Copies of this chain bind each other. A is one copy, B any other.
Amino acid sequence: MSQRNIAGTDQLTAATETDDCPLPEVLALIGGKWSAQVLVELGRGPRRFTQLERAIEGISRRMLTLSLRDLERSGLVTRTVYPDAPPRVEYATTALIDEIREPLEALSAWARHAAPAITAARQAFDEGRREA
């Protein structure tokens, strides 16, 4: 909390003091290996299945399907089938996501900015272990 705003402390207290903090559930939902990337990609606009598959790089059909199903089931993503031939399915984000996008991006920004420090810390830690 670099710029500790006035109301920030209350927020912090609220989020920190409740013991039924549902953070684990969110992380279970978007903390999977691919869910976050699917969300990010869909945040750029509606996408078709194969579009996502190509955009995400490294994801398998299976995992993409599972991730999409989970997100759809949880109401974060909609799935619309157009009765065309060949079949066409479009995925899009729901309003629920609009409110999580900012925190997610803040997290992503932190990741970019903290990455060097983390890498350095790990190297230092590992070297310390080796000479011990």
A22 and B103 form a contact (CB under 8 A)? no
B109 and A11 form a contact (CB under 8 A)? yes
Chain A, 97-132, contact with B by CB distance < 8 Å: what is the 0/1 string? 011111111111111111101101110011000000
Given A2-B99, A16-B44, A27-B27, do A112 and B22 touch, yes or no (CB 8 Å)?
Answer: yes
Using Cβ atoms and an 8 Å threshold, which residues of chain B touch A16?
A: 40, 43-44, 105
Interface of A (DSSP majority class): helix
B-facing residues in A45-103 (Cβ within 8 Å): 72-76, 96, 98-103
> What's the least CB distance linking A119 to chain B, in Å?
9
Given A1-B101, A103-B107, A107-B23, do A96 and B75 touch, yes or no (CB 8 Å)?
Answer: no
> What's the least CB distance linking A126 to chain B, in Å?
7
Closest B residue to A29 by CB, please name it: B118
Closest B residue to A35 by CB, please name it: B27
* CB-CB nearest 3 A-B residue pairs: A75-B121, A31-B31, A103-B106
Q: List 7 A–B pairs whose Cβ atoms lie within 8 Å, in order of A's numbering.
A: A12-B101, A15-B40, A16-B40, A23-B107, A31-B31, A75-B118, A103-B110
